[in-house]
Structure 1
């Protein structure tokens, strides 16, 4: 974590089977020591259908004390998911968190109970449900400004990266995403959510460089 000293990050977790075994207090201590801000957390592969859903959300809130959690939608049925959210509504509201579901391209629709930004915008009628708007997961990443405007009032987090010829999470400038125009657009709209730069692991050094540069350019 040292390269991210004096910056802010979205702390991301992956496998839910490992999540409860991690020493989260130690991670938080290290982040505090390095002056790394954690305004938002990306949950592991857990969703409303899973038995440990509320337990994991509660643990994230307890240790990291954040208000917005990004989540990947998992496989399931849309109506069942919304019924579960109604069942869990009070527990989630009591935690004081917003669940920001990440959009995915059309081709993954059979593997996700929800995946398109427009679907999320239409179905998310509970106050704690929002979007993580991922530019490289759009069907047409070059149209990110227009697509963002269609759902903007329900976007809590932006995952910003480039895309080209089916490749996702490329460094900005390597694909078709008009990222500077997009960031200027977010500023013009007074977007108050989190903007997270997200690259493939192989581009980690570029991620650190771009994170620091854009933090200065787009304060």
Structure 2
């Protein structure tokens, strides 16, 4: 299943993401719960599913800096609400970032807490790889606890994001090998290895995006591959649509799936 993250259409809305997904031939949508009020409303998302005929495969919990107050300030409450939304929409994955370093109490209980949530909800909480915050090539800050690499912790489920791997200068294929069957979810994108989290269209950076997808196909990966790209610089909806279509075609080609013929 190849999905489209609603974050990929920003500054357009969650509703626009479902429209793009349906028009371009994506199999599903990942809902980024964010400052778009619609993204926080399960009933509204269900209406989009029904209207466009595109299911939701995953819910991304509101754990970004800009979403620190979405659904309150209690991090565990945010995850519980994310699981409730996922269950109501028929999604089987909640994507979550590891805690920020200053969230010490949350970080101390994070590994055990994630395991408990999975047991109590039946939803996979796929912890995402992150990156050091770098001011330059020589100065960086480790901003996440218990760590930014999910393969070093005993999580049952993990997400690999290729843009985050680029910033961290980490080999995503080696990370996938370490995770093995614990790899549940992919954010397909790209980066150049700069200090900026670029989220480029796959194939436009220097990450082994094609090789990574071929590795997944050879390993019979059964999770979700979700395009999560930055289209903020697209001057028109046509340009944004072209970037989204290119990302989907890239995924299908290197996963060994037939190309979608569009008008």
Shared fold by TM > 0.5? Answer: yes
Per the alignment, residue 246 of structure 2 pairs with 210
2-structure distance, mates of 1:53, 1:3: 27
Unpaired runs of at least 5, structure 2 = 1-17, 134-139, 235-239, 258-263
Once superposed, which parts of structure 1, at least 4 consecutive aligned residues long, lie more than 4 Å away? 46-49
Q: Contact 1:156–1:193 at 8 Å: present in 2 too?
A: yes
TM-superposed CA distance for 1:136, in Å, is 1.4
Per the alignment, residue 161 of structure 1 pairs with 189
Q: Contact 2:131–2:142 at 8 Å: present in 1 too?
A: no
Deviations, residues 88-133 of structure 1 (Å, cap 9, x unaligned): x2x542321110111111337643223432xx233225xxx42111
Relative contact order higher in (CA < 8 Å, ≥ 6 apart): 2
User: Which of 154, 170, 182 is residue 124 of structure 1 equivalent to?
Assistant: 154
Deviations, residues 140-162 of structure 1 (Å, cap 9, x unaligned): 25x32223212232111011111
TM-superposed CA distance for 1:189, in Å, is 0.6
Per the alignment, residue 11 of structure 1 pairs with 31
Q: Contact 2:127–2:157 at 8 Å: present in 1 too?
A: yes
CA 1:39–1:103: 2 relative to 1, 3 Å: same
Report the count of equivalent residues: 208
Which TM-score applies when normalising by structure 1?
Answer: 0.80
Per the alignment, residue 114 of structure 1 pairs with 146
1-structure distance, mates of 2:206, 2:242: 18
Unpaired runs of at least 5, structure 1 = none
CA 1:169–1:208: 2 relative to 1, 3 Å: same
RMSD between aligned residues: 2.9
User: Which of 115, 118, 122 is residue 96 of structure 1 equivalent to?
Assistant: 122
Per the alignment, residue 4 of structure 2 pairs with none
Per the alignment, residue 24 of structure 1 pairs with 42
CA 1:97–1:48: 2 relative to 1, 3 Å: farther
TM-superposed CA distance for 1:134, in Å, is 0.9
Per the alignment, residue 37 of structure 1 pairs with 55
2-structure distance, mates of 1:207, 1:44: 25
CA 1:123–1:215: 2 relative to 1, 3 Å: closer
Normalized per residue, which structure has more helix? 1
Per the alignment, residue 148 of structure 1 pairs with 176
Deviations, residues 5-40 of structure 1 (Å, cap 9, x unaligned): 152121111259x68x94321221212221212111
Q: Contact 2:59–2:93 at 8 Å: present in 1 too?
A: yes
Q: Contact 1:109–1:115 at 8 Å: present in 2 too?
A: no
